[in-house]
């Protein structure tokens, strides 16, 4: 048989796939989407097969230099065809290396571990022959000598694990590698994991046999039915239970070749804690019903459709999602639910399970690799009908997907801030298109992009305009800090108006939530004499003062120092703390209300998910009167006794050099306002600001999304920003400023011709954060009214960088960036 070749995507930051020879022994095996082990640059790597061909690629050196695939992993391809297509799209659209993109879609590599293997080189053998005795040698030398001796005696290579058992062995081995006496290579070893037998119907074996055979027996029919019509491949124990047959029958069929079998990591048990969970039983209101009827229509149509569920906070969107899942399941389809944070996967997963008893899988990055791998394979083997997860769950290896829900679609957590820099929401819509499924995006404050699509008729618009059970939206009032100052003649961390409102809540025994979106005690330390701020050594950013730790800290790189007594620049002693953060606000409230029970929720006070849940639990249980926190407090929670939400320094984000600043501010204020008055008690929201006339604040106060959208869309159109232009940011970074400048100039030359082809090129200019972790950063912003023109400008840019020897890590291409700052 002619030789065959396979294109393999490897997790390296290169734009191409790599060709390998398919060994004849693998004939008949499916390779597309299959994980394979291949040699790459003197080491073994796990990649995924993407394409086959009968012809050798034309490369210098000819066929001989093409290496063979070493091993096949898994019994079935990890990636179904639709996911391969999705990965190829991501790689093109987000200008991301194909191998790193595929890596993001594959299950964690729990089956293998990377190891280093040492063997004696010719030089080492020669050296051994010359050495005579160990007399007079240093300790290091005798360790090396012993190591060489041992490798010589054993004749074969030794792994780093074996060598590490010797005191000083590994260091000695590395020294010998550097001197050329040992050679080292990276290898992959199988790791032992607990596995179970998975069985699948073997169509190739079963059919011809069936013709000759006398009437087929019942047990075999039932097994076939379960494995083909009902479920797909199953673990032995589950197959036995579902088909109602004995193990012996199954094993006999396996022996005859009617069933295929392989080992997979053990699946985890269904969570036990949700057996005693009773979900709320809500009768849908008229608006929820109408939205759901539309969704049913879309799902029954059995083709791609996208819809935006725009529902105010507390309008009961979750119930509509559950109804949508029901619709998809009833059509024999599967569903994916994306949520913006890990904590919500538990909550939503629980609701889904309680409602349908359908098996639900949870996928998120917070799971240990082994559990994530088990969940992943459970999904791959069609044991789960609904997958709930965070961003990367958009790659859940489900087939027959009928619905993809994206909850809080505007959240920036859907954007991955490392390669591949995809947006989970946009990827969800594209995947729905590939699968012929329905994409359902939900939000109280949709992104400009999504609402624009709804207005343009690309997405169907479904609206929930009122809160459930006729609860009213909270009353929102502005506290004009300029007026406050005129009246009080002093600036306090919390305005007098807000202070009085909190006092009232303490007196009546309800709860207050205070949002201050800055960590630390003071934003910066300013020298009143020379006007300079104390900056981070590694980043162009002012250091934040943390009083409890007595440190000035950089929130970007972690650099920290003790607050100096004098200005490092001019030696003056007039150093002042400027700008109040959450720590200061909490301290102030403790001074003002010594008897109140006050807690703070930010990354300084809660470091783990458990601590976070504890604080929120205590607040929900009424053990805390005032909760102060950063935007962590703004999200999704349902507190029944909160009657006051105060927003300190609401206009903070408006000062940022980012085209989404107004949108972010509007979203945050609307979300936090949605936290008040969710129970029987009605709520009040106080928003402190120096710019009460800013439209983002005005419309947030009125909770008027549509007017905000129209105003913001007007500016975006005028300034050529999304959704009216496609945008990409290209960042060039290096510790040496000369390199960063030289590479930026080279890229400027590359981009220049695209100016005439409909792409506006801004830059290179110093990035808003001009220095970060000691690297100098320059930025291009590319804009075009046509996505295709932008794609053309970007498509060759990484190859160009490679041709100019610009390191891969020095260039970050971000398509549809979440922000430009």
Residues that bind ligand ADP (CB under 6 A): 280, 282-285, 288, 311, 313-319, 468-469, 638
Three-state secondary structure string covering 10-77: CCCCCCCCEEEEECHHHCCCCCCCCEEEEEECCEEEEEEEEEEECCCCCCCCCHHHCCECCEECCCCC
Which lies closer to ligand ADP via its Cβ, residue 123 or residue 284? 284
Torsion of CA 691, 696, 702, 706, to 10 degrees: 160
Burial of 410 (0-12, 13-18, 19+ CB in 10 A): buried
Nearer to ligand ADP, 350 or 374 (CB): 350
Residue 459 interface partner, choices ligand ADP, Zn ion, none, CB cut-off 5-8 Å depending on type: none
By beta-carbon proximity to Zn ion, the closer residue of 519 and 600 is: 519
Does residue 205 interact with Zn ion by CB under 5 A? no
The one of ligand ADP, Zn ion, none whose footprint includes residue 416, by CB under 5 to 8 A per kind, is: none
Least separation in angstroms between CB 678 and ligand ADP:
7
Nearer to ligand ADP, 1 or 283 (CB): 283
- What is the distance between the alpha carbons of residues 325 and 442, in angstroms, rounded to a whole number? 14
User: Taking a C-beta distance cutoff of 8 angstroms, is the pair 777, 740 a contact?
Assistant: yes
Residue (291 or 782) nearer to ligand ADP, CB:
291
CB closer to Zn ion, 425 vs 546: 546
Q: Does residue 554 bind Zn ion (CB under 5 A)?
A: yes
Cβ contact 126:152 at 8 Å? no
318 binds, among Zn ion, ligand ADP, none (CB under 5 to 8 A by kind): ligand ADP
Residue 251 binds which entry of Zn ion, ligand ADP, none, CB below 5-8 Å type-dependent? none
CB of 373 to ligand ADP, least distance (A): 32
Calpha distance 415→409 (Å, rounded):
10
Least Å distance, CB 453 to ligand ADP, is 20
Rounded Cα gap, residues 304 and 325, in angstroms: 16
Q: Is 560 within 8 Å of 553 (Cβ atoms)?
A: yes
- Binding-site partner at residue 559 among Zn ion, ligand ADP, none, CB < 5 to 8 Å by type: Zn ion
- Give least dist CB 705 to ligand ADP, A: 13
Please report how the helices 317-330 and 342-356 are oriented relative to each other, as an axis angle in degrees rounded to 10: 50
Q: Closest separation between CB of residue 262 and Zn ion, Å?
A: 50
Strand-pair category, 575-580 with 598-601: unpaired
* 103 vs 317 by CB, closer to ligand ADP: 317
| Interface pattern 701-740 for Zn ion (x via CB under 5 A) | ----------------------------------------
Which residue has tokens 């102060």?
628
By C-beta, is 475 or 819 nearer to ligand ADP? Answer: 475
Q: Give residues 508-547 in contact with Zn ion (rule: CB under 5 A).
A: 536, 538-539
Q: Give the integer Cα–Cα distance in Å for 661 and 653.
A: 6
Peptide bond into 782 cis (omega under 30): no
Measured from the CB atom, the residue of 344 and 801 that comes closer to ligand ADP is 344
Least Å from the CB of residue 809 to Zn ion = 19
CB of 787 to ligand ADP, least distance (A): 32
Residue count, binding to Zn ion (CB under 5 A): 7
For residue 556, the partner it binds in Zn ion, ligand ADP, none, with Cβ less than 5 to 8 A by kind, is Zn ion
Angle formed at CA 9 by CA 8 and CA 12, multiple of 5 degrees: 130
Q: Name which of ligand ADP, Zn ion, none residue 362 binds, using a CB cut-off of 5 to 8 Å depending on partner kind.
A: none
Q: How many helices (H) and strands (E) does the chain have?
A: 26, 33
* Residue 524 bridge partners (DSSP): 578
Using an 8 Å Cβ cutoff, are 406 and 439 in contact? yes
Instruction: Convert residues 615-654 into a mask of x (bound to Zn ion by CB under 5 A) and - (unbound).
Output: ----------------------------------------
CB of 656 to Zn ion, least distance (A): 18
CB 471 to ligand ADP: min, Å? 9
Which of 118, 414, 559, 666 is close enough to bind Zn ion by CB under 5 A?
Answer: 559
Helices 169-179 & 139-154 angle (0-180, nearest 10): 80
Cβ atoms 784, 758 nearer than 8 A: yes
Tokens of 246: 């004995």
User: Sign of dihedral through CA atoms 80, 82, 86, 88?
Assistant: positive
Shortest distance (Å) from residue 537 CB to Zn ion: 7
User: Toward ligand ADP, which CB reaches closer, 320 or 661?
Assistant: 320
Q: How far apart are CA 162 and CA 2, in angstroms?
A: 42
Q: What does the radius of gyration of the chain's CA atoms come to, in whole angstroms?
A: 31
Nearer to ligand ADP, 117 or 319 (CB): 319
- Smallest separation, CB 395 to ligand ADP (Å): 25
**Positions that interact with Zn ion (CB under 5 A):** 536, 538-539, 554, 556-557, 559
């Amino acid at each position: 048989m002619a030789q065959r070749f396979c294109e393999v995507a490897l997790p390296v930051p290169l734009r191409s796939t790599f060709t390998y020879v398919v060994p004849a022994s693998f004939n008949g095996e499916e390779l597309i989407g299959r994980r394979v082990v291949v040699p790459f640059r003197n080491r073994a790597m796990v990649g995924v097969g993407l394409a086959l061909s009968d012809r050798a690629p034309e490369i210098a050196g000819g066929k001989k230099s093409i290496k063979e695939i070493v091993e096949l992993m898994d019994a079935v391809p990890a990636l179904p065809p639709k996911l391969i297509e999705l990965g190829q799209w991501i790689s093109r659209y987000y200008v991301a290396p194909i191998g790193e993109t595929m890596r993001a879609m594959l299950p964690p590599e729990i089956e293998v571990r990377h190891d280093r293997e040492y063997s004696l080189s010719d030089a080492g053998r020669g050296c051994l022959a010359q050495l005579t005795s160990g007399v007079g040698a240093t300790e290091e030398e005798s360790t090396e000598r012993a190591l060489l001796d041992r490798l010589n005696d054993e004749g074969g290579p030794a792994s780093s694990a074996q060598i590490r058992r010797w005191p000083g062995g590994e260091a000695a081995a590395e020294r010998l590698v550097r001197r050329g006496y040992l050679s080292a290579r990276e290898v992959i070893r199988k790791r032992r994991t607990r596995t179970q037998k998975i069985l699948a119907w073997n169509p190739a074996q079963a059919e011809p046999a069936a013709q000759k055979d006398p009437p087929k027996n019942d047990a075999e029919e039932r097994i076939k039915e379960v494995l083909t019509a009902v479920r797909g491949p199953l673990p032995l124990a589950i197959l036995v239970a579902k088909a109602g047959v004995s193990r012996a029958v199954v094993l006999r069929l396996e022996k005859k070749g009617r069933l295929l079998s392989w080992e997979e990591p053990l699946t985890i048990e269904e969570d036990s804690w949700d057996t005693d969970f009773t979900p709320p039983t809500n009768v849908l209101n008229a608006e929820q019903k109408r939205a759901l009827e539309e969704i049913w229509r879309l799902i029954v149509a059995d083709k791609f459709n996208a819809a935006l569920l725009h529902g105010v906070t507390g309008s009961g969107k979750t119930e509509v999602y559950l109804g949508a899942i029901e619709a998809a399941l009833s059509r024999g389809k599967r569903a994916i639910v994306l949520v913006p944070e890990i904590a919500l996967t538990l909550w939503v997963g629980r609701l889904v399970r309680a409602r349908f008893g359908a098996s639900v899988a949870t996928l998120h990055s917070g799971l240990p690799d082994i559990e994530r791998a088990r969940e992943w394979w459970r999904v791959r083997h069609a044991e789960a009908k609904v997958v709930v997860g965070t961003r990367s769950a958009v790659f859940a290896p489900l087939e027959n997907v009928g619905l993809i829900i994206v909850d809080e679609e505007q959240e920036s957590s859907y954007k991955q801030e490392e390669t591949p820099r995809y947006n989970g929401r946009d990827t969800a819509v594209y995947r729905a298109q590939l699968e012929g499924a329905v994409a359902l995006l939900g939000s109280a404050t949709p992104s400009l992009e999504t609402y624009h699509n709804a207005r343009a008729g690309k997405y169907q618009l479904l609206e929930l305009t009122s809160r459930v059970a006729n609860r009213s939206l909270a009353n929102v009032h502005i506290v004009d800090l300029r007026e406050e100052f005129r009246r009080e003649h002093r600036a306090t961390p919390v305005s007098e108006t807000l202070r009085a409102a909190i006092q009232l809540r303490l007196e009546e025994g309800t709860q207050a939530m205070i949002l201050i979106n800055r960590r630390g005690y003071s934003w910066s330390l300013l020298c009143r004499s020379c006007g300079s701020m104390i900056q981070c050594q590694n980043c162009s950013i002012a250091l934040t003062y943390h009083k409890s730790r007595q440190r000035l800290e950089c929130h970007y790189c972690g650099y920290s120092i003790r607050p100096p007594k004098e200005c490092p620049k001019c030696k003056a002693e007039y150093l002042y703390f400027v700008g109040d953060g959450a720590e200061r606000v909490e301290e102030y409230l403790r001074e003002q209300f010594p008897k109140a029970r006050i807690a703070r929720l930010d990354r300084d006070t809660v470091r783990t998910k458990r601590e976070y849940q504890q604080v929120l639990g205590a607040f929900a249980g009424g053990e805390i009167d005032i909760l102060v926190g950063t935007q962590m407090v703004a999200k999704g929670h349902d507190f029944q006794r909160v009657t006051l939400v105060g927003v300190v320094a609401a206009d903070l984000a408006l000062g940022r050099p980012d085209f989404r600043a107004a949108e972010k501010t509007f979203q945050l204020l609307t979300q936090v306002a949605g936290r008040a008055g969710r129970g029987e008690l009605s709520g009040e929201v106080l928003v402190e600001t120096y710019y009460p006339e800013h439209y983002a604040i005005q419309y947030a106060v009125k909770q008027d999304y549509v007017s905000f959208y129209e105003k913001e869309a007007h500016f975006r159109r005028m300034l050529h920003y999304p959704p009216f232009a496609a945008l990409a940011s290209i960042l060039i970074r290096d510790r040496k400023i000369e390199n960063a400048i030289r590479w930026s100039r080279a890229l400027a030359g590359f981009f220049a011709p695209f100016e005439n082809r409909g792409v506006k090129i801004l830059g290179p200019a110093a990035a808003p954060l001009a220095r970060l972790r000691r690297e100098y950063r320059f930025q291009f912003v590319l804009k075009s009214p046509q996505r295709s023109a932008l794609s053309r400008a970007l498509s060759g840019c990484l190859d160009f960088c490679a041709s100019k020897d610009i390191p891969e890590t020095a260039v970050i291409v971000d398509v549809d960036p979440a922000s430009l700052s």
